[in-house]
């Protein structure tokens, strides 16, 4: 089944990954991880506590696969790497050997004989980076090389490192990337002006006082792209660990949208996430309020794609958890009214058209928030977002967002006077 991979986290060898049977994986924590973090610590994933016994995939439960899938790309990049390696796209071990040195968060997958050494960054000329971004989702790298960094998701994007002089480089051998570059989709009929709208929404969030990823719009040749600064990387390349809500709950990426059947069986997915994460934060009350503000923002901004892979947690080396900044948030509902899903079930609702203040408050209450505190968090978010929208110019081609937004805000009684 192939050689094992060593799993490194914050520069420590914390576990080994093996494949005892085809496409079923086993994660075994090291003595070092047990000595430093202790039995039950959740530093690698909230779904996989540090333990003496190996954690293995089984027919009905695949916790290791779910964690790994959350780190790997989907779609065309996954197919491109797998085809070049001559392996099936479901062969996680083979793909991780290629791209696992640079993943989301602070985790790295390396050959068992290797140690993290910082890797190298290959400088790209303006022509090379323009071609690289312009050709996505097809990757054209120098001499037919393959990418050596992994970022989950279905959208076409590339991880790059910003050099000191402002040029771009390609991370190799486990070097840290600093930015992700996501160009306007080549077939942008369904959601036109997506990257411009995403950049606008992130600036609205920041202006409204929410924690949001930094972004800017850049043109590569004739292709517009949003360039997002990685919040899990420092300018000098230090990594901060993170995982998305799917990984934290042990769910595979294809389960990223919560359905009513799951809600009726297990209750709100967000409430389950809060029960798992809140007590690992410095302030459980603040964590609940921050998450409710983020959920309220995604609803009122019209983000019809706010699923469990578009929220993440940051996990410090001590195991302390915080909510990651907002990312992948865009007013897609106002660009195309077909996209109205909430991503998560919110107080029994799955359609943005039908979520009101009382639903958002009721959802927060299921997380253990006092009703008055939940209502204060929601109403203050509405007011701050309303002011931020008014103060943030819309990019050309998206001007109708404001009229559509005003109409829905009035319909749902979200509009704030002033």
- Catalytic residue annotation: 305
Give dist(CA 217, CA 117) in Å, integer: 32
What is residue 260's three-state secondary structure? helix
Question: Do strands 158-162 and 120-123 pair parallel, antiparallel, or not at all (unpaired)?
Answer: unpaired
What is residue 9's three-state secondary structure? strand
Q: Judge contact between 24 and 34, C-beta under 8 A.
A: no
Q: Between 269-277 and 284-300, two packed helices, what is the crossing angle to 10 degrees?
A: 150
Per the structure block, which two tokens stand in for 314? 């940051």
DSSP structure string for 67-131: HHHTTSB-HHHHHHHHHHHTS-TT-HHHHHHHHTTS-STTEEEEETT------EEEE--HHHHHH
Length of the chain: 418
Q: What are phi and psi of 254, to 5 degrees?
A: -70, -10
CA distances from 117 to 120, 155, 176 (A): 9, 30, 11
H-helix or E-strand containing 378?
helix 371-391
Per the structure block, which two tokens stand in for 41? 């610590």
């Amino acid at each position: 089944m192939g050689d094992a991979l060593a799993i490194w986290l914050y520069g420590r060898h914390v576990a080994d990954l093996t494949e005892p049977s085809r496409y079923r994986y086993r994660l075994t924590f090291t003595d070092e991880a047990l000595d430093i973090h202790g039995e039950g610590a959740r530093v690698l994933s909230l779904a996989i506590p540090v333990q003496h016994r190996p954690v293995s995939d089984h027919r009905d439960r695949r916790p290791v696969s779910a964690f790994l899938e959350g780190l790997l790309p989907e779609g065309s990049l996954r197919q491109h790497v797998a085809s070049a390696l001559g392996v099936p796209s479901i062969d996680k071990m083979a793909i991780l050997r290629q791209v696992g040195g640079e993943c989301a968060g602070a985790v790295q997958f390396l050959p068992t004989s290797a140690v993290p050494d910082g890797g190298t960054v290959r400088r790209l000329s303006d022509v090379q980076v323009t071609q690289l971004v312009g050709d996505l989702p097809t990757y054209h790298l120098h001499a037919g090389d393959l990418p050596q960094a992994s970022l989950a998701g279905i959208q076409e994007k590339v991880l790059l490192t910003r050099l000191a002089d402002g040029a771009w480089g390609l991370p190799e051998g486990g070097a840290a990337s600093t930015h992700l570059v996501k160009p306007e989709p080549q077939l942008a009929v369904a959601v036109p002006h997506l990257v411009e709208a995403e950049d606008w929404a992130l600036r609205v969030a920041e202006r409204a006082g929410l924690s949001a990823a930094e972004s800017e719009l850049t043109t590569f040749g004739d292709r517009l792209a949003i360039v997002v600064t990685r919040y899990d990387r420092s300018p000098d390349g230090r990594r901060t660990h993170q995982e998305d809500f799917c990984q934290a709950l042990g769910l595979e990426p294809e389960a990223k949208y919560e359905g009513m059947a799951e809600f009726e069986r297990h209750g709100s997915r967000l409430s389950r996430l809060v029960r798992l994460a809140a007590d690992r934060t410095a302030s459980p009350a603040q964590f609940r309020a921050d998450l409710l503000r983020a959920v309220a923002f995604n609803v009122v901004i019209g983000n019809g794609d706010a699923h469990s892979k578009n929220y993440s947690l940051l996990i410090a080396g001590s195991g302390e958890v915080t909510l990651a900044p907002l990312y992948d948030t865009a007013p897609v509902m106002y660009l195309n009214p077909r996209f109205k899903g909430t991503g998560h079930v919110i107080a029994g609702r799955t359609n943005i058209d039908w979520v009101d203040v009382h639903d958002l408050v009721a959802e927060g209450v299921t997380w253990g928030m006092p009703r008055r505190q939940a209502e204060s968090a929601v109403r203050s978010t509405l007011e701050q977002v309303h002011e931020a929208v008014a103060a943030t110019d819309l990019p050309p081609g998206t001007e109708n967002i404001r009229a559509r937004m005003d109409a829905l805000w009035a319909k749902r009684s979200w509009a704030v006077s002033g």
